[in-house]
Structures are given as structure tokens and as C-alpha cells.
Amino acid sequence: MVATGKALLIARREVRLLSRSRATQGALVLLVSVAWLPAILLPLRRGSLGVASFTELLPLQIALGAVILPLLALLAGAELFAGELEDGSLIPALTLSISRRACFVGKCLGRAATLGAAYLVAFASAGLAVAATHGGTGWRDWAVVTASGLLVSFSSGGVGAALGAAGSGRVRAFGAALVTWIILVFALDALLLTIVVALAPPPPGSIGEHGHGEVAAPRAPPTEMPIHQGVEPVDPHARHAEPEGPKSSRLSGGLMALNPVSLFRVTSLAASPGLRLRLALALPGGTGAGLGTTIVAGWLIWLVAPLAVGLRRFVRADLT
């Protein structure tokens, strides 16, 4: 049997195992809550019953997703290997003709497929309910936010898997996952946002109005008013400043890509100029040019690198 077949055998085993697990049922309930509660609760502010529109829904979905999805995925990832290695129930599989590499890939595939399906069921059902009530306005932004939620879940799950892959036990793996969650969601996210804002060039026209170095919110969406627009350069050398917008945008995106949670926010916001204003989280100097590449590269790294680290730890681990 080729390695792919063995990885798929392990993946099927993982799916079967998860389908019988109460933790999976709990995760599904939590995901349904995250997907549905904002849609149901937001109209209550207006004193009405029903579901919110996509546009109303997005800010809360981003805020909730940035906190809850990484936590859920980190814990699920940490348990992926730590649980079975602690119980010893993975040992029989590893002493069969299944390499550790195939075992790692198979278990990751099986868990990603199961929890990814649960995520899609939860959010697709909420999305369908919103579309049925309000029509399709804003669905693209919602779809981007939902897709980036899946990406932050997979990348956080990979980090969790790397934490639990050395077989140091559930308690240590869960502890490490919780500390990582605090770092990613609170400490690092806040730090990166602070740096990005601090490094941001002042918006056009802010000098004199707000003073040097003062950060002001853009007056209009960056896509509608690029940074150089309306500023007539006097010195021909000043034209070199023109690419500053995209460069600054790439720098901001690059910094935010250091953290999958921040990347989730950037991806969600970059997809919707309207959201950038509403959340007062404009990308400094952002015309958005070059940001897409940074975001894609950031996600690729966050999806692959933790799994590569996890695989390395799992292959080298003492498993008894």
C-alpha cells in the first residue's frame, strides 16, 4: 500500500473516531452558536425579531471569530496527537506498516475534514438564512470573512498539532495551547496593531491639521482616495513618494501576517472597504495594492509551517 493510501486509512480512522466523540458534538454546537447568535441577536437591538443582514453581521462575526475560532482550533489541534499518545492508542497503528509521516498527515487530514465540515455546515446554514431574509447584498464580504475564519482555524489547528505532537501529554499540550491563544489573540495582535499604527505615515492633509506624527483616520476609503491623490508634488523628487502607499500597505500587511489572528482581521477587512471604515481599522497608507500577495503568502506560511514543525516533532518523538 502506498503512503497516500495509508494516510487516507488513518484519515478515515480519525473521521470515524471524531464522529463518535462528544467533543466534536460540542464543537459543532459552539460553531453553530458563533455563526447563528450574531445573526439572531443583532436585530434585537432594534427591538425586532429575525436575522441580521450580511452587512450588519460582519463586524461582530470578525470580532467573535478572532477570539473563538483560534481557541477552538488550538485545543482541537493540541488534542490531535497528545490525547492518543497519552492513552497509547496510537501505538498499535504506528507499529503496523504505517509510517509516522503518513500517520501525521492522515490524522491532520481527518481532523481538518471533520471540523472543516462542521464549520461549513454552521456558517453556510446561517448564511442561507440571512440570504433568504435580506437577499444577497454583502454576501461576498461575508463569504470572505467566513473563508478567512476557516483559514485561521486551520492555521491555529496546525499550531495546536505542533504543540501536541511531541507526546508530552494532554495537560501540557492544552496548557501550551491556551498560552499560545492568549499570545496570538491578545498580546501579539495588540502589539502588531500598535506597531502598524505607529509606523503609518500621516494621511494626506493631516499635517497642519493634526500635527506631525499624529495618526488620523482616513477620511474616505483608501480605495476611493489613494494616499497621493489631491497632493500635487512641488519637487519632482517627491514623485518617489508615490509608491509609498502600496509599500506601506505591504509593510502593514507583512507585519500583520506575523500572526494568523491579525491576518484573519486583515483578510476580512481588506475584502471590504466599507468594513475598514466601520471598524476604524484602516490599513495605514493603504491603497491595498500588493496587499493581496502578502495575505496569500501569509496564509500559505501559516498553513504549512506549523504542520512542518509538528511533523518534525512527531517523527522524532519517543512514543511509548
Shortest Å distance, C-beta 15 to other proteins: 12
Question: What distance in Å separates the CA atoms of residue 35 and residue 121, rounded to the nearest whole number?
Answer: 10
DSSP 238: G
Q: Which is nearer to other proteins, 48 or 320 (by Cβ)?
A: 320
Select 28 or 195, whichever has its Cβ closest to other proteins. 28
Nearer to other proteins, 48 or 97 (CB): 97
Q: Rounded to whole angstroms, how far apart are CA atoms 277 and 260? A: 22
Instruction: Name the minimum Å distance from CB 108 to other proteins.
Output: 17
Q: Among 74, 71, 68, which residue's Cα sits nearest to residue 160? A: 74
Closest CB 29 distance from other proteins, rounded Å? 19
Using the minimum distance from each CB to other proteins, give the nearer residue, 6 or 276.
6
39-47 — which CB contacts under 8 Å span 24+ positions? 39/126, 39/129, 39/130
CB nearer other proteins, residue 278 or residue 316:
316
Which triple of cell numbers denotes residue 55?
A: 452587512
Q: Which is nearer to other proteins, 23 or 179 (CB)?
A: 23
State the nearest-atom distance from the C-beta of 274 to other proteins, in Å.
47
DSSP annotation of 220 reads S
Nearest-approach distance from CB 168 to other proteins, in angstroms = 13
Residues that bind other proteins (CB under 8 A): 1, 6, 9, 13, 16-17, 20-21, 84, 87-89, 91-99, 316, 318-320
Cβ of residue 243: shortest distance to other proteins, in angstroms?
50
Q: How many Å from the N-terminal Cα to the C-terminal Cα in the chain?
A: 25
Radius of gyration of the chain (CA): 22
Residues in the chain: 320
**Cβ atoms of 107 and 10 closer than 8 Å:** yes
